[in-house]
Amino acid sequence: MKSRREIYFIIWSCLCLCVAAEHVNVTVKGGTSIAQTDDNFICATLDWWPQNKCDFNQCPWGEAGIFNLDLDNKILANAIKAFDPLRIRVGGSLQDQIIYEVGFGFRKCPHIKKMSYGMFGFSKGCLPMCRWDQMNNLFCKTGAKITFGLNALTGRRKSTVDSTLYEGDWDYQNALDFMIYTVSKGYKIDSYEFGNELSGTGIAARVEAEQYGKDMIILKNLVAELYQDPATQPMVLGPGGFYDKTWFDKFLQSSGPNVVNGLTHHIYNLGSGADKDLIYRIQDPHFLDQVAQTYKDISSSIKEFGPWAGAWVGESGGAYTSGGKGVSHTFANGFWYLDQLGMTSTFNHKVFCRQTLIGGNYALLNTTTFIPNPDYYGALLWHRLMGKNVLQTTHNASPYLRTYGHCSKKYPGISLLLINMSNSTNYNVSIVNDINFKDSEVILQREEYHLTPEGGNIQSDVLLLNGTPLKLTKSYDIPELKPMLVNGSETIKVAADSIVFVTIKGFKAPACAS
């Protein structure tokens, strides 16, 4: 006897039959991998923005900034813990205005305040060590992997001829005192990132590439001195800004070999969160493809000038200025987000940090209730299913069908991500192995995870998994994400406006053998 969930999904599948259906062969080249991600590719950010960070007559941050966030919230802890582990980047626009309440001669620890002539319209602020202790209590009990963004402007002065250019050497003393305190408390740091959006022309402030590279060497030496065990020594990341080829190439050359572990860049390719066309851009594969050139160029810079470093998307919320209200937190945003995960992985990016875990309109968790938004579950499924070896996956159908393949993280075999951005066409997908085996490949069963919006409304905050709404348990735990078990001889039915993860056990891919 079929369960209610299976019956619901059968009804939903039958309703989809009234929409035009197209058969597609998706070819997976499993002989060799084309790229490799980090095991913890999925990353989310925590930001410094205070309550009065407002844009477009809205203030979407509430109590979600680092200084105000309820670190004892059970949903928050469970949401982080579910990834086992989740990579978290602590940083953002105000990062280079934050000092740390530690070290000799420290007299006061000011709060961030609105200031019309301040950078981003705010004054400098201070992180009390008691707050840092509270944050690490959360990180410790949830097993999070932490990237901490350091203030890279301390000690510099504004240029007399260019108001955005900051000159002079970095004064590292306060950052050093902070790191010494962190080590003394036994807090685990996966990586330190140097500055935020100071590369190229900068956002509000900039530092020349040669100077930045010189200071990055200093940071690397400080980290090596404080963390002498190579097994626990944090990585050093930078520049955490928008890609500018000339600047990035000079930076890699000036910092030299084996200094930068991760070359971090930011992506906000959807434009402003206030743009009325945002919902359409998210569903336009031709528009989404435009950013691929940036990913390719970053990879080229690394190959030529920094082969010791890995490419990271250090921050990306899709739409800037806190994301789009009614769009960035809905099912529709998954078309952009999951497509970007797939695209960046093919360009050998190691990590993708989503702006934000909580805060703004683009959060993975609702800023007020902490209830997961649809993209949270998409990120969690990626993290659990998609392994680090990336496989070339192609098809000859409409560009509105996006396909990505990896070695499976769970079993011997492969995992696929299929995204249907069309609202009028269903796809019946057959998976083809490009390797010509003598024995025909027989797949008895596969696991499928069909993601659709409640009521068919792509701007819904409620996500259906195989037809069932995903809701927290009574104890505020993340619900179990159960797949449908499907006969391997059947095509994969990818409905209009849906996203499907598929794991195929036993799929013969030599690239996945190791």
Write out the two tokens for 162.
């260019």
pLDDT for res 434? 86
Which of 101, 193, 208, 315 is labelled catalytic? 315
Q: What is the pLDDT of residues 94-146, one digit of tens each?
A: 999 999 999 987 778 999 999 989 999 999 999 999 999 999 999 999 999 99
Question: Is pLDDT above 90 for 418?
Answer: yes
For residue 399, say if its preceding peptide bond is cis, omega within 30 degrees of 0.
no
Q: Counting Cβ atoms within 10 Å, is residue 292 exposed (0-12), middle (13-18) or buried (19+)?
A: middle
pLDDT for res 439? 45
pLDDT for res 106? 76
Q: What is the pLDDT of residues 489-512, one digit of tens each?
A: 999 999 999 999 999 998 999 999
Q: What is the pLDDT of residues 243-294, one digit of tens each?
A: 999 999 999 999 999 999 999 999 999 999 999 999 999 999 999 999 999 9
pLDDT for res 443? 74
Q: Please, where are the H alpha helices in 143-283? A: 173-184, 209-226, 245-255, 278-281
Question: Is pLDDT above 60 for 93?
Answer: yes
Residue 173's identity, in one-letter code, is Q
Question: What percentage of the chain has pLDDT greater than the value 90?
Answer: 90
Handedness of CA 272, 273, 278, 283 (dihedral sign): positive
pLDDT for res 19? 61
Question: Is pLDDT above 50 for 8?
Answer: no
SS3 of 355-385 = CCCECCCCCCECCCCCCECHHHHHHHHHHHH
Q: What is the pLDDT of residues 189-221, one digit of tens each?
A: 999 999 999 999 999 999 999 999 999 999 999
Which of 101, 193, 197, 448 is labelled catalytic? 197
State the residue for tokens 């969690």: 380
CA 41 to each of CA 109, 142, 231, 295, 350: distance values in angstroms, whole numbers, following the listed order: 35, 17, 20, 15, 6
pLDDT for res 441? 62
pLDDT for res 198? 98
Across the range 314-327, mean pLDDT stands at 97
Q: Could you give the CA distance from residue 328 to residue 360 in angstroms, rounded to a whole number?
A: 9
Q: Which of 10-24, 44-58, 407-421, 452-466 shows the lowest mean pLDDT across its residues? A: 10-24
Q: Counting Cβ atoms within 10 Å, is residue 168 exposed (0-12), middle (13-18) or buried (19+)?
A: middle
CA dihedral 353, 359, 360, 364 (to 10 degrees): 50
State the residue for tokens 């990626």: 382
Mean of per-residue pLDDT scores for the chain: 94
pLDDT for res 170? 98
Question: Is pLDDT above 50 for 366?
Answer: yes
Handedness of CA 443, 449, 455, 456 (dihedral sign): negative
Question: Is pLDDT above 50 for 477?
Answer: yes
Question: Is pLDDT above 50 for 15?
Answer: no
Categorize the per-residue pLDDT at 18 as very low, low, confident or very high, splitting at 50, 70 and 90: low
Residue 311's identity, in one-letter code, is A
Residue 509 neighbours by CB under 8 Å, 6+ apart: 28, 30, 31, 391, 407, 413, 414, 433, 435
CA 396 to each of CA 17, 34, 493: distance values in angstroms, whole numbers, following the listed order: 22, 19, 17
Question: Is pLDDT above 60 for 10?
Answer: no
Residue 513's identity, in one-letter code, is A
Q: Counting Cβ atoms within 10 Å, is residue 442 exposed (0-12), middle (13-18) or buried (19+)?
A: exposed
Write out the two tokens for 105.
């001669």
Residue 192 backbone class (left: φ over 0; alpha: ψ -120 to 50; beta: rest): beta
**Per-residue buried b or exposed e for 294-313, using 16+ beta carbons within 10 Å of the residue's own CB:** bbebbbebbeebbeebbbbb
Is residue 352 within 8 Å of 344, Cβ to Cβ?
Answer: yes
Q: What is the pLDDT of residues 152-166, one digit of tens each?
A: 999 999 999 999 999
Q: What is the pLDDT of residues 228-253, one digit of tens each?
A: 999 999 999 999 999 999 999 999 99
315 is a catalytic site residue: yes
Across the range 369-397, mean pLDDT stands at 97
pLDDT for res 107? 78
Write out the two tokens for 485.
């078990």
Q: Could you give the CA distance from residue 71 to residue 73 in angstroms, rounded to a whole number?
A: 6
Question: Is pLDDT above 70 for 6?
Answer: no
